[in-house]
Amino acid sequence: MKTRELSMGEKQAIVKLREDGKSIRAIAQTLTIASTTIWNVLKKKETTGVLSNRPRMGRPRKTSAVDDRNIVRAVKKDPKTTVSDISNNLKRAGVKVSQSTVRRRLHEQKYRGYTRRCKPLISKKNKKARLEFAKNYRDKPQTFWGKVLWTDETKINLYQSDGKAKVWRKKGSAHDPKHTSSSVKHGGGNVMAWACMASSGTGSLIFIDDVTHDGSSKMNSEVYRKILSANLQKNATKLIGRSFIMQQDNDPKHSAKATKEFIRGKKWKVLDWPSQSPDLNPIEHAFYLLKKRLKGVTPQNKQQLKEAAVEAWKSITKEECKSLVKSMGHRLDAVIASKGFSTKY
């Protein structure tokens, strides 16, 4: 433990008593200073010829080791806490430090401030189901996942977001047309599509408004059954073979009684899928690739958007699909590690 620094007068007194023939123990008893401290002062005088301390680099730390632990403990207990809150709490405890000091202490322990990721709120029931699914299927071989036909629906906007792009500009020129990007309310229109894929590649991309009677993108159990009837078996045969496992999420139109009876009549084997698990479905990342490849494409209407989307979907390679399906083991491990909560996928 660090103790107080001896004054110059105390150091000079130690040297004087030593010159008078006093032993180190006698000096320690006279000045009530530890014997080791007496010895260190005399040793320094002997080797350097001076008693003063060498100049220190920078200011002394404003926080002790205990304060540093309390700072880290605060963010461990509540990651949403702010440096302002921590600084105020320390001041109430008698430790006056700035927010910058608190931030430096957190940086020293490898903590950084990040934007919170938005993840679906998973109920206790579904968290348990996700965990059980992950444990039951974690050890399945890659050949098992190669038999799965992954299916889902997605919305494709006419104008894809370019994200937060940066530009080089001078102060005061933020609104120059060269330094801005255009936005259209609600994406300027969109199309809803059903799609499927396997580890061997992508299947059909079916637009809902091409199937409904009124040309709308609203899909119910009847429309869903119509899509499955026309597309599922032929895609499964092409991508996997006659023996396959169908995957679908627990959307109401998927889990409707009529849909279940239809699938049962077709004798299709269905993967028992846990609710609220988009992070487990590789097709979600395939949809990401599709939309990423639509950036920079400028369709003028929905028909052109559909044509561009089909081309983008077809451009996803077999190797990319295989890699996505191969990640199932890592996805299941992540669910187990998070105890059923959302994962990074």
pLDDT per residue over 85-107, tens digit each? 999 999 998 889 999 999 999 99
pLDDT above 50: residue 1: no
pLDDT above 60: residue 185: no
Residue 131 and residue 336 in contact, taking contact as beta carbons nearer than 8 Å: yes
Region 308-335: mean pLDDT is: 96
pLDDT per residue over 252-304, tens digit each? 999 999 999 999 999 999 999 999 999 999 999 999 999 999 988 888 889 99
Region 104-114: mean pLDDT is: 90
pLDDT at 15: 92
CATH number of 124-163+188-338, picked from 1.20.1250.20, 3.30.420.10, 3.30.565.10, 3.30.70.1150 = 3.30.420.10
Cα(175)–Cα(180) distance, rounded to whole angstroms? 6
pLDDT above 80: residue 57: no
- CB-based contacts of 309: which residues, under 8 Å, 6+ apart? 156, 191, 193, 205, 290, 294
Considering only CA atoms, which of 164, 201, 205, 203 is closest in space to residue 305?
205
pLDDT at 160: 57
Sheet holding 148-157, edge to edge: 201-207, 190-198, 148-157, 245-247, 269-270
